[in-house]
Amino acid sequence: MNKNLWIITASQIFSFTPAPVNVFLSGIIGSTLSPVKSLQTVPTSLMIVGIAVFSFFAAKIMNKIGRKAGFLYAAIFSSFSALLGAYAVWDKNFYLFCLACFFIGNGMSFTHQYRFAAAESVEKSYIPKALSIIMLATIFSALLGPNIANFNKDLINGHLYVGSYLSLAALTSVPIIFLSFYSPKTEPASVEKYKGRSYFELILQPRFLQAVASAAFAYAVMSFLMTATPINMHIMEHYNLNKTGIVIQLHIVSMFLPSLITGNLLKKFGHSKIIYAGVVFYVLTILLSFLEPSFFNYILALVFLGLGWNFLYLSGTGLLVLSYKEEEKFKAQGFNDIIVFSIQASASLSAGYMLSITSWKTMNLIAVPFLFLIIFSSIRADLSKNDKQRN
């Protein structure tokens, strides 16, 4: 039993709700508010841009004020951002809604630091399991957020989805209660005087590069296809909102439910083998795009997409935690996150435009080069490790 780990886990459940809610609703809201069709996924993408832009600063801020204060700030800021989103939807203001989604992303950049806080709360041998627990908690976010948002979508008469973002504001404020009991092991001042290695020295490490590549391109492929899915299903293929929501929810569940076993798989088979398995799941997703666009095939493709992301992202995060020294953890974490979420933001931003000018099959094929980059960085890291063992 680890008090800090369970507090972090409970906080993560509510702090992460903006992600599934925004994925579920912001593209649909964008399609009704956007003056140009190709801009309909911009609100979804701007949340990811907000994460990317602020992820480096989130690590820096936590280095200065500590994990607890950083998470408390994020809860308050995310709640106010959701209120801004509710007002933007009520006012039918597309640009203000985009700004609200960007601000929600700013808050989410702190939420993504929960995984590092979880790793720091346990001994090194338990890091894979701690990461699995914190990732598993996100299933509850995926179920809680969209269901409450959908239930409250008609809360304000004549203003569809305003109630969804009002409920999101309430959900994101809940961690304030849990975090009052949180006591981080390390004070920020204890690592502040150490600079550690430079960014260039960090990226030269084959394992560090493998960790970043696995996480970054896992997010790129997942975000590129997931952002376009609600639009392709609901707008182009004319599936109803309930079926579209089921596909997205099952996708998000498949992203996090495997965390029950991923930690054990990492310990048994090693990070590289799980990375290769994640690539296989992505290949299956791409192959399914060439079949009939039935409801079942959408479910299967998005479940494989989630499984692939889980294997790749957890493997990358686990490798990252093992590739830096204590005194450079905030530098390495911030550097990793700005790369990961910048690449994800670029993929998400381009999704709406690419869907408007190409097809669902073509979008899946565009993901293939990213898979080669993951494989290349992993093979390079494995060969480097073998060379060291021979020497």
Using pLDDT thresholds of 50, 70 and 90, give the confidence band for residue 191.
very low
Using pLDDT thresholds of 50, 70 and 90, give the confidence band for residue 187.
low
Using pLDDT thresholds of 50, 70 and 90, give the confidence band for residue 310.
very high
Residue 235 near residue 227, CB atoms below 8 Å:
no
- List helix spans (H) across the chain: 3-15, 18-33, 42-65, 67-91, 94-111, 114-120, 127-151, 162-173, 175-179, 189-192, 199-204, 206-230, 241-256, 259-269, 271-288, 295-322, 329-357, 360-366, 368-390
3-state helix, strand, coil in the chain (%, to 5): 85, 0, 15
Distance of CA 189 to the CA centre of its chain: 29
Q: Which residue has the higher pLDDT, 10 or 231?
A: 10
Q: C-alpha distances in angstroms, 11 versus 56, 75, 82? A: 21, 9, 17
pLDDT of res. 189: 47
Q: Which residue has the higher pLDDT, 267 or 370?
A: 370
Mean pLDDT of the chain: 88
pLDDT of res. 348: 77
Region 186-212 average pLDDT: 73
- Please write the tens of the pLDDT for every residue from 211-261: 999 999 999 999 899 888 888 887 788 788 788 888 988 898 898 889 889
pLDDT of res. 125: 77
Region 267-288 average pLDDT: 95
pLDDT of res. 105: 93
Percent of the residues in the chain that have a pLDDT greater than 70, as a whole number: 95
Rounded to two decimals, what is the model's pTM? 0.76
Q: Is residue 75's pLDDT more than 90?
A: yes
Residue 114 near residue 71, CB atoms below 8 Å:
yes
Considering 100-109, 113-122, 227-236, the range whose residues carry the highest mean pLDDT is 100-109
CA-based radius of gyration for the chain: 20
What is the rounded distance in angstroms from the CA atom of residue 224 to the CA atom of residue 206? 26
Q: Which residue has the higher pLDDT, 348 or 217?
A: 217
Other CB atoms within 10 Å distance of the CB of residue 351: 26
Region 23-31 average pLDDT: 85
Q: Is residue 391's pLDDT more than 60?
A: no
- Please write the tens of the pLDDT for every residue from 122-176: 887 788 888 888 888 888 888 899 899 989 998 898 889 999 999 999 999 999 9
CATH class as words, domain 3-180+197-390: mainly alpha
Question: What tokens were used for 153?
Answer: 């979508």
